[in-house]
Every structure is written in C-alpha cells, then in structure tokens.
Amino acid sequence: MRSIANATTPYVLAIVLAAIFAVFIWQDTSLLTLFPIGLLLVYFAIYQTEKVFISLAFLTPLSVNIEEFTQSFGLFLPTEPLLFGMMLLLVAMEIQSPFLKKEIWRNPIIHAVLFYILIIIITAITSSHQLVSFKFLLARLWFIVPILIFGTHFFQKEKNRMQFLWLFIIATCIAIVYSLIHHSFYGFGEKEGHWVMWPLFKDHTIYGAIVALVLPLVIAIYFAEKHSPLTQAVLILLIIIVLVGLYYSYTRAAWLSIICAAIVCLVVYYRINFKIVAGIGLVALIVIFFKWDQIQMELGRNKYEHTTESFDERLQSATNVTTDASNLERINRWSCAIAMFEQRPIFGYGPGTYAFEYAPFQEPENLTIISTNFGDMGNAHSEYLGALAEMGIFGLISLLGIVVAIFFSMITLYNKLPLSETKNRVLLMGMIAATTTYFVHAFLNNFLDTDKAAVPIWAMCSMVIIMGIQLNNKTIRKS
C-alpha cells in the first residue's frame, strides 16, 4: 500500500485517535496504562497499515472485553480501538485519493450490507433507546468498513489472504490450548466447560461457534496444496487441537453446525440442482406441518440433558424442550422476540435494544430456573429473531439478504473457478463451510456484534469479493 507519510491526514487522525483514547481513559482511569500502547498502535496503523490489518486476524481470537474487568463500557481490546482507528484512517485516505476498486460496489454482498446499514440507521432514529442504537450502528461500521470494504484492497494479494487465515487459525488454536489446559484442572467437567475459556471468550457458546468456524478453514488449507513435511505436521496438529477443542466446548450448536456445513459442501461439490434441494426442503416443511402434534409429543418425551457424558445423548439433548433449562430459556427469548415484533412490526424497538426491552414480554409459563425478571441476561439467542425484534420485518429481510448474497456469491465463484485452480477452489469450499457453521449457529445465538465472529465472517466475504473481481478481470484479458 502506498505511503501516506507526507500527507496531512495521518497527523490529523493521530490527534483524533489520541483524543478518543483520552475519552476512554476519562471514563475509566484504570485504562491509563494503555494510553502509550494506544499511541503506538496509532503509529503502526498509519505507517504500517497493511501489516496492522493482517495482524487483526491474530489479535481477534485473543482479544479481551474490558467490561469483564472494569464493570464499565464493553470494549474488546486491542481489536475494537484498532478497527475504529483504521476505519477513520482508511476512509480519510479514500476521500483524499481513491484506491478502492470500483467493481466492489457492484457486488451483491456489498449491496445487501449497504441496505442492512440503511435499515439500522432508520430504525436507530425510531429506537426506544437512540443512544444504544447509534452505538450499535457505530460498532457495526467499525467491523464492516475496514474489514469488508477496505479488506478488498488488502486481499488483492493472495499472500495476504493466506496470512490472514493462518494467523486467525493459529490464534484460535492458542485460545483452545489455553482453554483445554484450564479445563484439565477441573477434569474436563461439563459445568466448568462453560467458562474455562474466559477471559478470551465470554462463554462456551461463542467459543464453540468460532472453533467450529475454524475447523473447515484449517482442513481446507491442509488439502489446498502440497506442503513441506513440517508444514503438513503443523497442520495435522492444528486440526487435532481444533477437534479436541470442539468436543470439549460442550456446545451442541457447534457440533450440529459442522454436520450442516458438511451437507452444504456435498451439495455444492456435486452441484445438486437447487430445485431438488428446494423440493426436499418443501416436502420436509409439509411433513412437519401435518405431523406437528406428533413431533411435539416426541419432543416432550425427550429427557436427555446437555449434562450427560455421552456424545450422542448430548446431540439428542438439543431437541429436549421439556427439562433442559438451556433449551427452554432459548424458547423464552425467542417468544419474547416474536412478541416484541408483534408490538412493533415495522421498525422494531431499535438496534441493540433487545436486552433492555424483553423482560416485560416474558410469559410465566416460559420462565425457567435461569430466567430473570430484570431482563438483564443478554440477547435474543438468534441472529434472525434478534433482528426481527430490534429492526422489524425489514431488519430481518436485510439480514437474510446478506446471508443469501454471501452464499450466492461464494457458490457462484466456486462454480466459475477453473478446475485447474485447485488451491482457490479448496480454500473457497472451506470458506463456504466455515460461513455455513456460523449462519446455522445464528439460529441459536447471535455474535456478529463481537469481533470474534464479525472479523472472520466479513474477512471471508471480502476475500470472495476480490477473488471474483480478479477472476472476471482474468477472463476478460483472455477473451
């Protein structure tokens, strides 16, 4: 990337970023020791922009939310200040001397994301907690702008794409090893497995989601090309670490998402006609509709708890809606989200407001032993229902639009890539599987407001966008 050392922009941004760090410190003086580190990061972000961008892949799995220690505002360090600073820096650079490829603005993923941002802005204006909603908007922007949009500039180099994936995988494996060592002190118990990954991950649900996301990526890198014996041994070790981490995450949604990802990969690899897939899905929905009473009776007989030691019984416990408190609480949250949508179907209660609004919508029959009357236990436990409750019907449509655009772009690119480009095809299949694990997970949890999930998801989207542009340009030159 071209040097900007002689421009005035870096100095202005340095002052702005220093002021931002000062505000953070003013809110919490315990952050005073981080001020010199913050200024150092500002320096590197300005003069080593590309390297700092790639380093985000390594820093993300190892970032820590200071809210866990300070009981103040939530902020993931060091990633979120870096992302915010890079957003300002890159936007200023683009305004001063445009360098982004114009073709990116024609990509369906970008169109879907811009529509999503527009809906966030509109519903933030009508929000019941406007300050919360505009903070939500800002947080979404500092993930989307530097990673998704400007990532298309950095990911033009294949080397950067590979380094980003490698660094994210290695850092995640470091987090897994840390969690496993910590977990071993408690005999790998199920209850302890819910929190041993702290402070790198809040709990086992986000931990399991990221471990599941990484598994297809490390497998894809292993099969993408021939490696030296040492590299091959390292990759095998990383795969084993991820598999062990996945098992001991005790996250049923993560296990199920891997199964779904494998099915999607088979559909894509064998190019099974979409009409056949849609037909099977339609038949399944019809069967569920006519057999719903019988299905409910069977679900009611399921007494498997997620605390059981058996792996297959743990998977079966995912459908226990009779005695499993975790499943019952999800149903409680989902019911609240639907009730909130029914109350405000068009604009919702505002982005990021679910945790502040859901308590009055809890029905007595849905309350569990882990429910709270104060509604202070987090989000809707569903990316889709959360968007529906917070941003109304258009919020859900915009989110589903992103999901459709991502898979359409990825699968279309995979089918267009020549068979001779084995490395790119295998890596792309890995990204399709990794993305599938997250968006399957999104039915049961929502993590796109955290750096752990947002950075890899938007980075893979950015890679797909630029790979598509490069393929089109290569095709045009040949013709």
pLDDT digits (tens, 9 = 90+) for 361-399: 888 777 777 676 655 556 888 999 999 999 999 999 999
Q: Are 180 and 244 in contact (CB under 8 A)?
A: yes
Q: What is the pLDDT of residue 320?
A: 46
Of 82, 99, 116, which one is at a domain's C-terminal end? 99
- 380 with 341, same domain: the answer is yes
pLDDT at 92 over 60: yes
Q: Is residue 215 part of a domain?
A: no
d(CA 110, CA 466) in angstroms, rounded, equals 12
Residue 203 domain-assigned (yes or no): no
Please report the pLDDT score of residue 381 as a whole number.
Answer: 87
What number of other Cβ atoms are within 10 A of residue 438's Cβ?
A: 24
pLDDT for the residue numbered 289: 57
- Find how far residue 192's CA is from the centre of its chain: 24
User: Which range has the worst mean pLDDT, 71-80, 81-90, 223-232, 303-312?
Assistant: 303-312
- Give the pLDDT score at 39: 61
291 occurs within a structural domain? yes
User: Are residue 409 and residue 363 in the same domain, yes or no?
Assistant: yes
pLDDT value of position 41: 63
Confidence tier at 446 by pLDDT (50, 70, 90): confident
pLDDT over threshold 50, residue 93? yes
Range of the domain at 57: 1-99
Do 75 and 123 lie in a common domain? no
**Percent of the chain clearing pLDDT 90 (strictly above):** 57
Between helix 79-96 and helix 130-143 the angle, nearest 10°, is: 70
Residue 328 lies in a domain: yes
- pLDDT > 80? residue 407: yes
Is 253 domain-assigned?
no
Are 408 and 383 within 8 A, CB to CB? no
- Residue closest to 303 by CA, chosen among 283, 287, 317, 291: 317
pLDDT tops 90 at residue 238:
yes
Mean pLDDT confidence for 429-438: 97
- Establish if 236 belongs to a structural domain: no
- Kindly state the average pLDDT of the residues 304-314: 50
Domain end position, chosen among 60, 84, 99: 99
Give me the number of domains the chain comprises: 2
Same structural domain, 407 and 321: yes
Q: What pLDDT digit, counting tens, does each position of 174-206 carry?
A: 999 999 999 999 999 988 888 999 989 988 999
Candidate ranges 4-18, 30-44, 274-288; pick with highest mean pLDDT: 274-288
pLDDT at 25 exceeding the cut of 60? no
On whether both 45 and 129 belong to a single domain, the answer is: no
Residues 66 and 148 in one domain: no
Q: How far is CA 79 from CA 56, 238, 320, in A?
A: 7, 24, 38
pLDDT at res. 190? 87
Same domain (yes/no): 451, 309: yes
pLDDT higher than 90, residue 252: no
Q: Is the same domain home to 76 and 110?
A: no
Residue-level pLDDT at 321: 47
Residues 39 and 148 in one domain: no
Q: In the structure encoding, which two tokens stand for residue 31, read together?
A: 């952050």
Question: Mean pLDDT across the chain, nearest whole number?
Answer: 84
Q: Is the pLDDT of residue 318 over 70?
A: no
Residue 401 corresponds to which amino acid? G
pLDDT for 3 equals: 42
Percent of the chain predicted with pLDDT > 70: 77
Residue 266 has pLDDT above 60, yes or no: yes
What pLDDT was estimated at residue 49?
84
pLDDT at 462 over 70: yes
Q: What pTM value is reported for the model? A: 0.87
Q: Is residue 194 part of a domain?
A: no
pLDDT score for 104: 95
pLDDT at 40: 63
Distances (CA, A) of 22 to 28, 31, 35, 444: 10, 9, 8, 38
| 86 in Cβ contact with 117 (< 8 Å) | no
Q: Is residue 81 part of a domain?
A: yes
Q: Are 196 and 190 in contact (CB under 8 A)?
A: no
Q: What is the pLDDT of residue 353?
A: 93
Average pLDDT over residues 63-74: 71
Task: For residues 33 and 132, state if they share a domain.
Answer: no
**CA dist 357 → 91, 128, 131, 139, 370 (Å):** 35, 9, 14, 20, 18
Q: Domain check: are 45 and 152 in the same one? A: no
pLDDT of the residue at 24: 53
Residues 6+ apart with CB under 8 A from 308: 314, 317
Domain finish residue from 84, 99, 114: 99
In this structure, what are the phi and psi dihedrals at residue 25, rounded to the nearest 5 degrees? -70, -35
Q: 411 and 337 in one domain?
A: yes
